Copies of this chain bind each other. A is one copy, B any other.
Amino acid sequence: MASVGSMQERRGRARHQVSQTEDLCEVRCVDEAKVRRTRQAMKSTGAVSTLAETFKVLGDPTRLRIAYALSRDELCVCDLATVLGVSQSVVSHSLRALRQMRLVRYRKEGKIAYYALDDDHIGSLLGEGFRHVEEQL
């Protein structure tokens, strides 16, 4: 195992050289005009990584079901757990992820936390998504 580790270290240094070779290798069949045009049209790294994280959060069945449920009605954690048939802990962890991407908001009434979609865009996204998957059957 130790020997494998040292081999990987050696490989790691070789990467720079390899990457230069790779770059040359990548630039063979390019349609320069198209490539430049597409490059300029590309979104910023920030927008891409934020949207990717948003999609990733919605890419889990449990969280997706939570988001869809909240697009229909405001619900507390316990009711969400009941609707989905999963534990409260799962719902809470899922809501945390959805919260961190600002997909849901919540208000607290005593000890009960009522969650809802934060934005109508999310509802549109879900609608568009479901329309897409339901169409191609």
Name A residues whose Cβ lies closer than 8 Å to a Cβ of B.
Answer: 22, 25-31, 34-35, 37-39, 41-43, 47-61, 64-65, 68-69, 72-73, 75-76, 78-79, 81-83, 87-88, 102, 112, 119, 121-122, 124-125, 128-136
Contacts and interface: CB of A to CB of B under 8 A. Distances in A.
B50 A133 contact: yes
A62 B118 CA distance: 27
B42 A52 contact: no
A53 B41 CA distance: 27
Nearest to A22: B87
From DSSP, what is the main secondary structure of chain A's interface residues? helix
B132 A121 contact: yes
Contacts of A56: 55-56, 59-60
